[in-house]
Structure 1
Amino acid sequence: MFDPERRARHGPPGWPQQVPPPGAEDWQPRAVAWLLDQAPPEYRGYPPVRHHPLLLVWLVAHHVDAQQEAVRRATGTARRDLSAHLPPETAPQVFAVLDAEQLRLRRLARSVDLLRQAMTGRRFVPRL
Structure 2
Amino acid sequence: MSGVDDSVPPGWPEEVRPPGAPDWERTAVAWLYDLVPPDYRAHEVLRRYPVLLARFAADHVAAGLEAARRGWRTVRVELADQLPAEAIEAAMTAYEREGARLAAAARGVEVVAGALRGERWVPRI
Task: Tell me the residue number matched to 2:116.
Answer: 119
The counterpart of 2:85, out of the listed 79, 84, 88, is: 88
Distance 1:40 1:46 in 2: 12
Gap runs ≥5 in structure 1: 1-7
Kindly indicate whether residue 36 of structure 2 is the aligned counterpart of residue 39 of structure 1.
yes
Measured on the aligned residues, the alpha-carbon RMSD in Å equals 1.4
Question: Percent identity of the aligned residues?
Answer: 43
Residue 9 of structure 1: how far off its partner (Å): 3.5
1:10: how far off? 6.2
Task: State the Cα distance separating 1:11 from its structure 2 match.
Answer: 2.1
Alpha-carbon shift at residue 103 of structure 1 (Å): 0.5
Tell me which amino acid in the other structure corresponds to 1:110. Answer: R
Q: TM-score, normalised by structure 2?
A: 0.89
Equivalent residue pairs, number:
121
Cα distance between partner residues in 2 of 1:115 and 1:19 = 8
Residue 48 of structure 2 aligns with which residue? 51
Task: Spell out, residue by residue over 1:2-61, the C-alpha distance to the aligned partner (whole angstroms, 9 max, x if none).
Answer: xxxxxx446222111111111222111110111111111001111111111011000000
1:16 and 1:111 in contact (8 A); partners too: yes
1:126 Cα offset (Å): 2.8
Aligned to 1:110: 107
In the TM superposition, what is the alpha-carbon distance from 1:108 to its structure 2 partner?
A: 0.4
Tell me if the contact between 1:11 and 1:20 (Cα under 8 Å) persists in the aligned partners: no
**Does residue 1:63 correspond to 2:54, yes or no?**
no
Deviation at 1:89, TM superposition (A): 2.7
Q: 1:42-101 CA distances to partner (integer Å, 9 max, x unpaired)?
A: 011111111110110000000001001111111121012211221123222111111111
TM-score by length of 1: 0.87
What is the one-letter code of the residue matched to 1:125?
V
